[in-house]
Structures are given as C-alpha cells and as structure tokens.
Structure 1
C-alpha cells in the first residue's frame, strides 16, 4: 500500500472514511478482498507470497493499513513480514497502545513501514523508521511512503480530494473509489528526493502509478458509520486496467 487518505471524526455520520491505493509489482500473487477462511473475522485482501495483508477491517470494528517507508539505503524487507502486523491486529483483542508498545520492541525486525490502527475508540499511527507514535487527532490526514502528513504531492492531492468529498451530506464508497485514479505526474520542483532517481520519482509521484512492471494493483474505499456498519469497496486493476470490483458490508 502506497497511498492512504482518511477523514477521522470529520463527518457527522461517518467517524472514519478511508481511501487507499496499493502499489506493488504485478507479478506478486494477491487475493482480492474477502473474509479469510482461516481467520473469518478478517475482511481484507491478501498477499499470497507472505499470507499477510496491506489493509483490512474486522467484524469487531477494527481497521489496519500499512505502507512501506521509501529509503533505498535501508533493506527492503526484514526478518518479519510487515503484512503480519495488519493480520495480527485485526484478529486481536489487545489494546492499540500496548500492541504498538510490543511492535516497537521488535521494530528492527521489519522493513520500514507506517501503520494505521483503529480499534473503534482511537486511531493510531506508528512509523518504525523514525520510531514515532501518534494518537491521530480529528481531521483529514494522509500517509504515503514517508510518514504521517508528509507533504509529498500525491499525499497532498489525496487529502484535498477527500476533504472535498466529505463535504457531502452522505458519503458512499462508490463515490469515493475513483478519487485516487489520477495518473498526473507532479512537477519536478515539488518532488521529494528519496534516492530512487528523478525518473522513478516522477512516476511514483502520481496517485495512481502505472509502470510496465509495477503499479497500482487496487484501490479501496471504506466507510465506518455511527451505527457500526462498515462498508468496503475494492477495485482491482491488472497492469493499469480495471479488472473488477468487490464490495462487502459488516453490520454490528
């Protein structure tokens, strides 16, 4: 997952609204969002290489999502899979603060990441590279491959389109799902310098990434309602082309 924008306690009917794009190599095997047979409380897509996930919700009202931290000087992966963090949190009953405390103790075992964790009470962000933990305040926020609210062009764009979308009286996943389908490249003077070279910085600056062997594999829109209902819509792409949508609803 490489781009997430979310509105937390910013709409009278929807305490949490999320839009997200997952960017990955096309060859990496993936299952679309579904309830997991081996963990039926989890509704999420699944990375079939390591069996974890990048984003999901649970029947208990939890949400988790993870992005990689972009730094070519650091190892791409670690001893432990980042996707297991999402899986473990969604199936746990443990409080979020204590979950993050345990995560911090083994942070060096993972590749760099940001993780968002919501337990129905509070929304938390943790980055293992800079070792920062935030209890996220109400508002519209975004995270890509730096840390929370880093003003990369794609992160600013995601916040802006979501901020506009939540001004509507009602918010629906079908209206949200296309908000991040923007392939526009940011101007060079606005690009970060993360060490991957200017050509790749340009390509990765778009909200929707479309490269020959790597790009946006799926987009996800999630709404949490005050009455406990969770709606999730996932749009799957195959090499930049729309393949199919998958929709689910969880009622408390």
Structure 2
C-alpha cells in the first residue's frame, strides 16, 4: 500500500473509514481481496511472493472486527535485499487475537530487521500507527486521536502533495456523505505535483514526478488496486476493492 487516507471516529457508527491505493510492480503476483482459505474470517489481498498482505480486515469472535494496513518507507539507500517481507505484519495481526498494543509490543524488538514501513492497525475501540523509522522508539506505537490522517511512503501525515490533496478531498467526501464511487474517483487521480513541492526521497527527479500522483502509471510499476474499507460499530466490516489494469489503462 502506497497511499492511505483514513478517518478515525469521525463518522458516528463507523469508527474506521479508509481509502487506499496499492502501488507495486506489475509482475509481482498477488490475489485480489477475498477470504483466505486458511483464515476465512480474514478478508485481504495476498502477496504470492512474500505470503503477506498490504491491507485487510478480519472478524475474530462476535465483536472482534479489526483492521490493518501497511505502506513502505521510500528510502532506496537503506533498502536491504535480505530483509523479511513486511506484509506478514498485516497478515499476522489479522489472523491473531492479540490487541493492537500487545501486538505492537511483540513486534517492536525485531522491527529493525525490516525495511522501512508504516503500520496502521486496530479495532473498533483503538487505532494505532507504528513505524520502524523516524525519531525515537515508538514501542507500542502512537494511539491515534479522532481525526483524519494520511500516509504515503513517508511518515504519518508527512506533507507530501498527494497526501495533503487526498486528505482534503477525503474530508470533503465524508462531510457530503458521498457515494462509494466518489472515493474510487479520488483514488484514480493521475495529477502530478509541481517540482517545487516534490519530496526528496532518494530517487531520480523524473521518477519522483511519476510517483507524486495519487494513481501511478509507469512502465512496469503502478497502482494495482484501489480499496475502500469501513469498520462499523454494530455490523461486520466491509472491504471494497478494484483491481486495476496494468500499463496504460491503470487509473481509468
């Protein structure tokens, strides 16, 4: 997942609403979001190379609805080829029964082994953000206050142009009570940011321009799925996903 905007306890009865794009190489195999045969209470896409996931929901017990999503930190100079796959961090939380804070406490000692990541996870009662990059040692992560948040391939609410733009549009759609289609239209935005507003993440300028769009279209790499998730107070969670076509037809 390379862009996620989410509202926590903003809409009554819907503690979590999230809209996200997953950007990945087109040739990396994955299955669309669906119940996992070995964990039928879990709905998520599945990375067939690493075995994990990037975003999903699960229902453990009568009141155990939970949510998890992950984005990578873009830092090519720090990337290690021998690092474990980050997608297991999402899948293991959704499969298990640990609370979010207990799960973060469990993974924190070994988090340095992974390439950089952001992890958002929680349930109807609490939502946390955790990263193995940035200043300090988050240990159990940051318990989030009610509000609207955004993450791309930097830290939480880093002022990247597409994060700022999508957060503002997301907030407007929530206020309007917009239909589902409006959220997918937001996620299909191919507008690139002006050079003066681009972050510096260690990739060439032309690639930085391409990656600045909400929905990315480049040869070999781009937005693979768009997803809208809702966790309800008194109903099972919902996950709506659109699998996008590769190369040249991605965002339409």
With normalisation by structure 2, the TM-score equals 0.91
Separation in structure 1 between the aligned mates of residue 83 and residue 76 of structure 2, nearest angstrom:
17
> Gaps (5+ residues) in structure 1?
244-252
Q: How far has the Cα of 1:189 moved from its partner? A: 0.6
Deviates more, 1:95-104 or 1:182-191: 95-104
> Gaps (5+ residues) in structure 2?
none
Which residue of 63, 66, 70 corresponds with 1:66? 70
Which structure 2 residues correspond to residues 22-41 of structure 1 after superposition, within 5 A?
Answer: 22-41=22-41
Determine whether 1:144 maps to 2:148. no
Contact 2:32 2:243 in 1 (8 A): yes
* Aligned residue in 2 for 1:107: 111
Separation in structure 2 between the aligned mates of residue 86 and residue 31 of structure 1, nearest angstrom:
15
Instruction: Spell out, residue by residue over 1:189-233, the C-alpha distance to the aligned partner (whole angstroms, 9 max, x if none).
Output: 110011101111100000000001100000000122232232211
Which residue of 213, 232, 240 corresponds with 1:225? 232
Separation in structure 2 between the aligned mates of residue 209 and residue 103 of structure 1, nearest angstrom:
31
* Aligned residue in 2 for 1:202: 209
Instruction: Spell out, residue by residue over 1:48-102, the C-alpha distance to the aligned partner (whole angstroms, 9 max, x if none).
Output: 1111100000023110000000111112555321010111000111121121112
Contact 1:66 1:116 in 2 (8 A): yes
With normalisation by structure 1, the TM-score equals 0.91
Separation in structure 2 between the aligned mates of residue 96 and residue 190 of structure 1, nearest angstrom:
35
Separation in structure 2 between the aligned mates of residue 205 and residue 163 of structure 1, nearest angstrom:
20
Separation in structure 2 between the aligned mates of residue 2 and residue 117 of structure 1, nearest angstrom:
16
CA RMSD of aligned residues (A): 1.7
**Runs of 4+ off more than 4 Å:** none
Which structure 2 residues correspond to residues 157-236 of structure 1 after superposition, within 5 A?
Answer: 157-168=165-176, 170=177, 172-236=179-243
Which has more helix, going by share of residues?
Answer: 2
Q: SS state of the match for residue 178, structure 1?
A: helix
Q: SS state of the match for residue 179, structure 1?
A: helix
Contact 1:182 1:207 in 2 (8 A): yes
Separation in structure 2 between the aligned mates of residue 236 and residue 23 of structure 1, nearest angstrom:
11
Contact 1:32 1:46 in 2 (8 A): yes
